[in-house]
Chain A
Amino acid sequence: MTLEAAGFWGLAAVLLASSLAVVLTRNLFHSVLYLAVALVATGGVFLLLDAAFLFGVQLLLYAGGVVTIVVFAIMLTERLVGERIRQTSRSLVPGALLAVAVLGSVCVFLRRASLPVKRPPLAGALTAALGEALVTRYVMAFELLAVLFVAALLGALYFARTDD
């Protein structure tokens, strides 16, 4: 087994275990910590695929940013307001069914696509290529996303406004 394969299976095990723990732990705070582990492991998969830039962005935005904001919300509600929130997992069965269905369809698509046996090496400077693609080929989608974010920001401001 190559080092890459060993790394992948190791990461896959961590990713699966921590993702399951996210939805199955009852303690909401522990759940977020497992989420952080899962997000870092996802970054590790990017790293194995030579996509170092995506690894950095994954860590910065998800493990650093998203987890921080989620923790902020939990701390505000649980310990300071005094309301203990438990993860209930009420829709366990429908959720599991949905997950299996998604997994099944992904597998079907993977079967139909003819994947190369060996991963082709990533050519050239990934970071520069990504940057260039964002401002040339995908500039429309990029700008539309920016509009979407501005709209979300304005919406958040609207909800957070005080009456006076």
Chain B
Amino acid sequence: MAPAVRDLIAAFVLLNGVIGAVTYVTLLERKFTARMQSRIGPYRVGPHGLLQPIADALKLMMKEDVVPAMSDRWVYNLAPLAFLLPCVLVFGTIPFAPGLGLADLNIGLLFFLAVSALEIVGLFMGGWGSNNKYALLSAMRAVNQIISYDLPFIFAALIPVVLSGTLRLGGIVEAQQGGWYVAYPVIGQLGFLAYLVAMLAAENRVPFDILEAESELVAGFRVEYSGMKFALIQLAEYAHVIATSYLGALLFLGGWLGPGPGWLGAVWFTLKALAVFLLVTWVRWSFVRIRVDQILAISWKLLLPVTLMLLLAAAFVVAYQGGGGVA
């Protein structure tokens, strides 16, 4: 089989796997939050509500597609796609187990960060194209927040890069064979914590969800979307959260490393990623939304200096020990 054909098939399988997994992650989150609030959660469709995501998807596909009359039609219609594309593209560079992944790029982490930075384009296309004041305000807040939290997120994600001396995601996992980076004294724990906070903000989840803020902005930039386009936006959001969870598990929790035979690697990795996801969900349903100025203050006055210092500290440690780097 020609390599191009094989790659195409692999990409097709990965894409559908991601979409399927993401639909079920919504069920996991609903069940999890229901338990936190002493509810049962979805239970009627299928055993223990296991068919609920499929029912949801079917419902959304059959819904009427409403396009606001005064919207910027092209921008409005393209926005869900522009939002979804980067969110699923980042999965291409994640190695799920040794050799199991689409492309373990040399610049893996940079590719991940760069492509997910494009997500914002789809977001403000939706906010602008809807021609709705709530949607626009939400897009403004999103831009505001992303400018503030991209830097701490990148700096936190770069700490393992400095420690392992490679941008290749597979290489970062291999470098953790001696011990996961979350166990690295001080730098590891603080770095992971900073990563989690920056991740919450980058994913616009409570307590950083001012751009969605149901009570003030209805549903934020997606307020005018319905049917399949709404589904695509939701899908993209969850795909991005899952991708970032995988990245967190890879950078700090040793990726596919774990006891047992090699093929268990993908299972370990997925379990770690789900643990990160549930941690984030736990925070989401435990805290209240904070104000805009508080969000900006946390980023610029606390997170940015801390991650910068941690990065510097990691660089000093590596330089002192002579390990890590390319030399």
Query: Which residue numbers of A lie inside 8 Å of B, CB to CB?
Result: 29-30, 33, 36, 40, 52-53, 55-60, 63-65, 67-69, 71-72, 75-76, 79-80, 125, 127-128, 131-132
Contacts and interface: CB of A to CB of B under 8 A. Distances in A.
A72 B140 CA distance: 7
Interface of B: 72, 75, 105-107, 110-111, 113-115, 117-118, 120-121, 124-125, 128, 136, 139-140, 143-144, 146-147, 150, 167, 326
A60 B113 contact: yes
A73 B222 CA distance: 21
Contact of A63 (B75, B113, B118): B118
B257 to A, nearest CB: 24
29 contacts: A30-B75, A33-B121, A33-B125, A52-B107, A56-B107, A56-B113, A59-B114, A59-B115, A60-B110, A60-B117, A63-B114, A63-B117, A63-B118, A63-B121, A64-B114, A64-B120, A65-B150, A68-B146, A71-B124, A72-B144, A75-B136, A75-B139, A75-B140, A75-B143, A80-B136, A125-B106, A125-B326, A127-B106, A131-B326
Given A29-B72, A59-B117, 11 more contacts: A30-B75, A40-B118, A55-B114, A56-B107, A56-B110, A57-B110, A57-B114, A64-B120, A68-B124, A68-B146, A75-B128
Contacts of A128: 326
B110 A53 contact: yes
A52 B106 contact: yes
A33 to B, nearest CB: 7
Nearest to A64: B117
9 A-B pairs with least C-beta separation: A64-B117, A59-B114, A56-B110, A60-B114, A56-B114, A128-B326, A52-B107, A72-B143, A56-B107
A94 B128 CA distance: 33
A131 B107 CA distance: 13
Nearest to B137: A80
A95 to B, nearest CB: 26
B225 to A, nearest CB: 18
Contacts of A68: 120-121, 124, 143, 146-147
A63 B139 CA distance: 17
A142 B173 CA distance: 32
Contact of A36 (B114, B121, B326): B121
Given A53-B110, A56-B110, A57-B110, A64 B124 contact: no
B118 to A, nearest CB: 6
B269 to A, nearest CB: 23
Contact of B150 (A36, A58, A64, A72): A64
Contacts of A55: 107, 114
A72 B146 CA distance: 11
